[in-house]
Amino acid sequence: MLPSTGTGGTVMLGMPNIAPEAERRRRIDPAFWLPASTILVGAYNQAAIGVVLGVVETRWHLSPGQVSVLATAEVGGMLLGSPLAGLVADRFGRRRVFLADLGVFVLAALASGLAPGFATLVVARLVLGLAVGADYTVSLVYLAESAPSHRRGRWMAAGLWGANLGMLSAYGLGAVLLRASWGWRGVLVAGAFLALPGYAARRRVAESPAFHRSPHRGASAITIARHGVSGANLRRQVVPMLAAFSYQTGDQGLTLFLPVILAEVLTAKAAGGATAALAVKALTIPASLATVFLVDRLGRRRLQVGGFALRGLALATVAAGIAMSWLGPLAVAALLALALAAGASGPDKTTAIVPTEVVGDGTRGIGQGLTQATGRLGGMVGPVGYVFLAHAFGLGAGLAWFACFSLFGGFVSRYLPETSGVELDLIT
């Protein structure tokens, strides 16, 4: 376990001492709210494709392979965008990436909604994924570097809490718009309009103080990349990477296919599945909010291990119940809600927080980007495995796939370093 320290604070540019309280508040307010708001928009776009997937599959007569490609195209973009954005942010600063990625965000979301066919939609989702992956990585780094050490976990968890609202917005809008023939396009286009206020507001954000004091500031991209993948950094990242992979394998799949799963279980249409997903996802809000207040008190490791274990058990139970036909539709929905709440109460936040904490100032962007990319790789493996298992052996087999990764994530998380309350400089 890492040693605990006293209260930290935000450092003024070029100054070693803690900034006055009034200045700290002035600087941190936009540093918190603007990254948090765009995390919400990123989550909306991730969930939106799941909301419309059933409609697009039917209208365009897609094969299981095409469904898998469409479901994972955005995640594939995130896989590339996360480490690339982390490297660029370590080389040129966080603020420049902040402004660039949202511009791409808006254009790609518009292209998704207006896509004339399968290939165009896949390309648009891939480009959108590049922007979403970049934004998640740099937003989390910026939040970690702006928050005081004794509240860093709370600030980052609160920012990530916006993802729950983004998913709820996608399910809610889907429940309304999918009743119209053009509704699926409206759900996708809405992601562009949600991003516009964030783009305008981000021009107010100052550069992160940690970037100005970076030991690698001004170095070449090759030098930063070499330090980022050094043996010391990779050893710190092994457990966070495995945990991120395990979590995203199940969570990305559940996010994408929850409306489809519930429509099948409840024998409802697409709009009914989106409505049910909205109700199920809403039950995770209290669990996610609890993490905001507990992450610095109970610690990252306890929340992550417990959340993984509970999610794995809930998914294993519902998988067995469906396979053996001893669970009714409402019981399945309740267990899926429990699984989602278990993830929201721990690993949903901690698998994103810890990777940002265990890497030093000079390579924090690329370190977080590599872990995010590992998670996104899991986010591709999960849906692809689910599609083929569910088509071949039924819904229960697909959910059992997610359960296995959740239980594995709980096991490896026992070795997670505890970073609660420790100043970033002392962790490394």
pLDDT at residue number 31: 52
Q: Which of 127, 110, 111, 35 is nearest to 74 (CA)?
A: 127
Place of tokens 């998670």: 375
pLDDT at residue number 304: 96
pLDDT in tens, 203-251: 677 777 777 777 767 677 777 777 767 777 778 889 999 999 999 999 8
Q: Which of 121, 80, 117 is nearest to 101 (CA)?
A: 80
pLDDT at residue number 301: 95
Long-range contacts of 174-181 (CB under 8 A, 24+ apart): 174/48, 174/51, 174/52, 174/259, 174/270, 174/271, 174/274, 174/278, 175/271, 175/274, 175/275, 175/278, 178/51, 178/52, 178/55, 178/270, 178/271, 178/274, 179/271
Can you spell out the DSSP letters for 318-346? HHHHHHTT-S-HHHHHHHHHHHHHHHHTT
Distance, in Å, from the CA atom of 103 to the CA atom of 383, rounded to the nearest integer, reads: 28
pLDDT at residue number 13: 31
pTM of the model: 0.77
Pick the CATH number of 21-427 from 3.30.460.80, 3.40.50.11900, 3.40.50.410, 1.20.1250.20: 1.20.1250.20
* pLDDT < 70 regions, the chain: 1-36, 199-203, 216, 218, 228, 270, 427-428
